[in-house]
Amino acid sequence: MNIFPQSNVLQQLPKQFFASLVQNVQAVIAEGHDVINLGQGNPDQPTPAHIVRAMQQAVAKPMYHKYSPFRGYSFVKEAVATFYEREYGVTIDPEKEVAILFGGKAGLVEMPLCLLNPGDVVLVPDPGYPDYWSGVVLARARMEMMPLRAENSFLPNYDELPKDVVREAKLMFLNYPNNPTGATATESFFQETVSFAEKHHIAVVHDFAYGAIGFDGKKPVSFLQVEGAKDVGIEIYTFSKTYNMAGWRIGFAVGNESMIEAINVLQDHLYVSMFGAIQEAAAVALLESQQCVAELVATYEARRNTFIHALRDIGWDVQAPAGSFFAWLPVPNGYTSETFADLLLKKAHVAVAPGIGFGEHGEGYVRTGLLTSEDRLKEAAWRIGQLQLF
């Protein structure tokens, strides 16, 4: 059999860090151990019943058995506009300022391909979602990291970025509520971002995947709520987290008209739009009662409170996340994020994600998901406590 080598671009793609984590977890499970897996970000609750029913009914409609419009049905883009007006007070033109995506990740990876040429500079949060890196590599662009530090509430400090880097930057990724740190952004930070981007002609992509998940009565701020945001950027939203539709693979981008058009042009060549029944179910999710979202957020908040209290009870000095369904926990002295994660897996049978997998500035932390029951979270904390590390 002939072996055909992969292209240089494919060979340069970052290794899927979390694939090895999954393999390690499976190996411990294969040994017969009960592993509490807090290392992944896969929602554990089912899609709300009314959304499933909408999909079931839509599947039978012959109109959806044909090719869908390349850029999506108007009704789902109008639902997006209604959603943004209702939730954030932001006016969206459904035809010019909305792009339907095959999941939020698709838009995040596509954006560098849409706007960048080889060698162009992209500002990327560190720590941050590793799939930002993938799009940068595919576009043959260059990453420059923006450190996120606890002392700055895990927000980038634009003043510390080298002037030559800022001068060359064409694109910037942000993500609040943040994966992996659980931090949230303020309106004043987004105002600063708009000014910075306007001054240096940088396109902003705000990953709003966890936009629905804020705690302590505080609703996360949309980047587009800030005056001038649509002049410099877009926001990418996914149904995966808000409506537990991770497997459905649908999201959308909203905002700057030229960036939306670029996404649509690229997707015109990659896809023939999305199955119409999924689009109909997505419109139902956006337009009908949001009680399911409120209940989901309450579930995550209860889990967060239970887990953080249990960790503090064993002597671990941890901070509660302000949003997302992750907790970002400092590693005890004497360990790296990887050696600590390895210890927890092998000795406590608790899987966590090493911070180094999210970038250099993720070292010193591990990420845990709030994606299992309160009892299992308490059990995980108890197991860790038995190691007598704190």
CATH number of the domain within which 151 lies? 3.40.640.10
Strand ranges inside the chain, DSSP E: 36-37, 98-101, 121-126, 142-147, 169-175, 203-207, 233-238, 251-255, 326-330, 350-351, 353-354, 365-369
Query: Do 113 and 203 fall within a single domain?
Result: yes
Mean pLDDT of the chain: 96
pLDDT at residue 18 greater than cutoff 80: no
Query: Do 80 and 193 fall within a single domain?
Result: yes
**Percentage of the residues of the chain whose pLDDT score is greater than 90:** 96
**Percentage of the residues of the chain whose pLDDT score is greater than 70:** 100
Please state the rounded mean pLDDT for residues 126-149.
96
Q: How confident is the model at residue 112 (pLDDT cuts 50, 70, 90)?
A: very high
Q: Residues 6 or more apart from 231 whose CB is under 8 A from it? A: 194, 198, 256
Give 192-227 pLDDT, tens digit per residue: 999 999 999 999 999 999 999 999 999 999 999 999
Query: Do 272 and 131 fall within a single domain?
Result: yes
| Single residue among 232, 256, 287 that ends a domain in this structure | 287
Helix (H, G, I), strand (E, B) or coil at 156: coil
| Single residue among 287, 309, 336 that ends a domain in this structure | 287
Q: Give the pLDDT of residue 87.
A: 98
Give 162-195 pLDDT, tens digit per residue: 999 999 999 999 999 999 999 999 999 999 999 9
- Domain assignment of residue 378, yes or no: yes
Q: Are 361 and 150 in contact (CB under 8 A)?
A: no
Report which of 270, 116, 278, 273 is spatially closest to residue 205, judged by C-alpha positions. 116
